[in-house]
Structure 1
């Protein structure tokens, strides 16, 4: 064997070892992720709601912890920075072989990408070195039987429901199973007429139970010859630790809200995530794959799938990136691709004088939201490093603005504009634009009611929104109001809510001793919404948010450790409890 052959053998051996180390690191990470997820059942049964919130944070932290551990090991054993390009190509080829028949192959690809990103500080996005594109297309079906139960519908509706609860067992008794079965029977018969009921040939339910907050969901579908409908059983615990069926949901838009981008990630334990996501996609065809992966807590892989979707969209569109509609932010530069459903947010180099915060503080606020129960009212955000945009697709106005406000984050090559750090969020209509454009008084009233509910529910989640200008709220296609500007949020305990002094002196407020944490809710009416007619509607519907007493009461509630329940479906769908 000559010297070159010996070198090739050595490179191949080291590359195999590198690939094995990475897959082993991924498997450890997934076991940790699964262990925390599997614990959701016990936390639900024992009503350990505080522990459930801690589990959200712990599970999000698992990925970065595992990644740091494996990169340290690799540096000690492989010395990756000393390797040539041939090594990285061989390492990827060896890793691809290890993915054959791996039940979480797609997540393992993302983990490999993260390792490469960490080693090269996200400076290289190269298909020869990492999985920019998937190693193979996943065709749903092979593992379908491993993730679903099928229930016989040839008998009565009641018999089917009884079979479901014989299959999904909990370590706590039902409060009144007979009453629950009657409610479910009545709800299903109200949704399907006699002919439809007779045509149902199967009910399928995913084996994982979907836990979030103070609820658990059995998620599946009703199969008929010409159509399928969602079939979701929502379960809750009583104060004396007994199980109740809270609702039976068969509308697709209800399922969509349950899987909303503004809610915390589910705890749903599975060894076959690709098959679970494929099944959910069949139930929610308008949801993209990356949204569903994120909803299951695989947010890192969701980012990978999003990036692939983004590249695909660039290939099939020709519009330009431009400044996002609405009032320019004081902290973030925000832009979009009009044909695409997200906005891109970049922290500015300098903030307006009114913003007494730092760049690191802004990043910390976004991390806080990531690990907080978003209760359906705070948009999920996704952080990216060295995100690339085709230079010819960026409008001159946008590029000039980015160079003026965010130059430290921008680098330009002959063909690309690279932003070193940005956030991506779902695109919504800014509330201020919505109110300018909408003429229907019923819709205006509904959206202002939604605004008040949004502020209140965020507060109940122990978060003070801070800057509550209506430009910082978005309106979804379904009319739901979501908060999306986080640079001034904090925990409720970090603010001192006070009443304005009663004085004949118009300058009395200037003579107060006002601390940096003081908030005067009576002033909210002057800036939450602009027009007097909007102020009056908001005051009529939610005037209490403009009083110190309201905020003090919520502050007392959150400091006591009480965790409210946030139901993601209309209250009138909740089954009545027997007297």
Structure 2
């Protein structure tokens, strides 16, 4: 029987619930203020401030959470409260969320408060929102997040009406050219009959800003088909902007919302409705990926966990070690039927890895706070994550105990991993190159590998361990880096040339410092087979020269901010 709480305890629960919600609302106002500033930063071309704003926005959640937990401790002796108090707190909090436009994010914030208080050891739906308190019905707030445009006019007039509504305090480089490019692109994509059948053109109200790009994201609705309708706009360093592309393929939109890219700045008070609209455009994307792409990465983790639990209920395969060469720092495993990998820092590293556990965590944090430019996989940190023991293969349990026992805790029915990361699953590049027989695909993969290394470097990150086993390849053929234990900023390495000498022993007497790197040696270890080395060297031979890396260091020292277009060059409009 559930005990009846005293009037005093009920009143205390109400105060605590109000306090948590107040801190969430304050946090979201802070989040909104930074997000809303994205347009002004884009208009001013203030790219360093853009990067700083992205980093600041990521830190908001933890700061707000710490403040909320501190006030709860000040309000009451939390560890003297029984479970009944926390159940009442959840019930009162859920009632306060009635009609709240960000209720789902507020539930996640509440979970974080409870998780922090109990060190994530009470994952109980009676005390927190393991499952959502209500079912959100997409469409009920659709009018709050989209603009609809008249389809009875000409194509040009439709575009003119779009840009009369979405206005920016910066001139177009050539407005007439851009309108013509947009019109020609749409007429090339749709037949005359399809154009005549268009029933609606809908565009999300917020502009999606990221880096030096801004996107209007919507859809074209026809009787038998609905297509993405995305206007991609760009800035360089000139005092104007231009329309770079019209994207109507889901593949292009999927890449824009890829897991290796920085979070968008998109100002909305109705994130659930925006996420639902995006889900309709990208049905193959997981819902948690869309929340993460919008910058709500903490709520994305909540939605991921719910998705994970649901998948466990509808599958029966076992967790096992991930395919590929075993890492020296991370133990990686997966569920074959599920699209992520789980990464645990090992207890001990070999002598060749002169790093610590804390160093590895700092490296992963550096990636989180950096512009991932579509080349570094986003990772999400979890503590005390629970796995059902009966779903873990005996071989995996044995390997986990042998490599990372200090991170494990066993109960009768569960394995609790005290600290780990999750990451989107990809095919390891070394396995792909072993199995692929199509010469063109092999060459494309190696070209992608070289571009991946170069673009990461231009983002002021030296990848460190560049063995091809530390890269993955997506289903779209894009190469992504995912091993971060040796990364550092570009200015933290000294790129040197090998001595030019006829003495074969000269290199053995070379004085080498801990930060010295010899790019001429890269060709010997990035890929193994001679044939693959030759292809990579023919495509990206400059990677193997210290001069290339010195040039990148100079650009990073100047503070140059790079922008790499997520869609193909063929999709871009000509500016001449």
Residue pair 1:293, 1:302 contacting (<8 A) in 2 also: yes
Residue pair 2:111, 2:129 contacting (<8 A) in 1 also: yes
1:197 correspondence with 2:195: yes
Residue pair 2:5, 2:85 contacting (<8 A) in 1 also: no
The whole-number CA distance in structure 1 between the counterparts of 2:207 and 2:528 is 45
The whole-number CA distance in structure 2 between the counterparts of 1:527 and 1:460 is 21
The whole-number CA distance in structure 1 between the counterparts of 2:60 and 2:536 is 42
The whole-number CA distance in structure 2 between the counterparts of 1:310 and 1:576 is 44
The whole-number CA distance in structure 1 between the counterparts of 2:339 and 2:83 is 36
Kindly state the Cα deviation for residue 7 of structure 1 after the two structures are TM-superposed. Answer: 5.7
The whole-number CA distance in structure 2 between the counterparts of 1:308 and 1:441 is 42
Residue pair 1:430, 1:472 contacting (<8 A) in 2 also: yes
Q: Secondary structure at the match of 2:380?
A: strand
Residue pair 1:290, 1:305 contacting (<8 A) in 2 also: yes
Residue pair 2:5, 2:84 contacting (<8 A) in 1 also: no
User: Bigger shift: 561-570 or 532-541?
Assistant: 561-570
Kindly state the Cα deviation for residue 510 of structure 1 after the two structures are TM-superposed. Answer: 2.2
Kindly state the Cα deviation for residue 176 of structure 1 after the two structures are TM-superposed. Answer: 1.3
Pick aligned residue for 2:419 from 410, 421, 428 = 421
User: Bigger shift: 77-86 or 474-483?
Assistant: 77-86
1:470 correspondence with 2:468: yes
User: Bigger shift: 254-263 or 173-182?
Assistant: 173-182
Residue pair 1:238, 1:244 contacting (<8 A) in 2 also: no
1:353 correspondence with 2:351: yes
User: Bigger shift: 5-14 or 527-536?
Assistant: 5-14
> Following superposition of structure 1 onto structure 2, how do residues 359-378 of structure 1 map, counting pairs within 5 Å?
359-378=357-376
User: Bigger shift: 18-27 or 230-239?
Assistant: 230-239
Q: What is the match of residue 252 of structure 1? A: 250
Q: What is the match of residue 43 of structure 2? A: 45
Q: Secondary structure at the match of 2:415?
A: strand
Residue pair 1:50, 1:563 contacting (<8 A) in 2 also: yes
The whole-number CA distance in structure 2 between the counterparts of 1:533 and 1:96 is 62
Residue pair 1:390, 1:416 contacting (<8 A) in 2 also: yes
Kindly state the Cα deviation for residue 573 of structure 1 after the two structures are TM-superposed. Answer: 1.5
After superposition, the Cα gap between the structure-2 partners of 1:21 and 1:526, relative to the gap in structure 1 and judged at 3 Å, is same
Kindly state the Cα deviation for residue 566 of structure 1 after the two structures are TM-superposed. Answer: 1.0
Pick aligned residue for 1:309 from 283, 307, 310 = 307
Q: Show CA shifts across 1:178-234 (max 9, x none).
A: 111001001111111111111111110000100001010000001101111001111
Q: Secondary structure at the match of 2:58?
A: helix
The whole-number CA distance in structure 2 between the counterparts of 1:59 and 1:538 is 38
Q: Secondary structure at the match of 1:406?
A: helix
> Following superposition of structure 1 onto structure 2, how do residues 103-252 of structure 1 map, counting pairs within 5 Å?
103-252=101-250
> Following superposition of structure 1 onto structure 2, how do residues 484-499 of structure 1 map, counting pairs within 5 Å?
484-499=482-497
User: Bigger shift: 450-459 or 78-87?
Assistant: 78-87
The whole-number CA distance in structure 1 between the counterparts of 2:109 and 2:388 is 26
Kindly state the Cα deviation for residue 81 of structure 1 after the two structures are TM-superposed. Answer: 1.8
Q: What is the match of residue 403 of structure 2? A: 405
Residue pair 1:326, 1:433 contacting (<8 A) in 2 also: yes
Residue pair 2:332, 2:342 contacting (<8 A) in 1 also: yes
Q: Secondary structure at the match of 2:6?
A: helix
Pick aligned residue for 2:26 from 3, 22, 28 = 28
Kindly state the Cα deviation for residue 326 of structure 1 after the two structures are TM-superposed. Answer: 0.4
The whole-number CA distance in structure 1 between the counterparts of 2:428 and 2:5 is 59
Q: Show CA shifts across 1:466-492 (max 9, x none).
A: 000010000111111000000000111
- After TM superposition, the score normalised by the length of structure 2 is 0.99
Kindly state the Cα deviation for residue 21 of structure 1 after the two structures are TM-superposed. Answer: 0.5
Kindly state the Cα deviation for residue 165 of structure 1 after the two structures are TM-superposed. Answer: 0.2
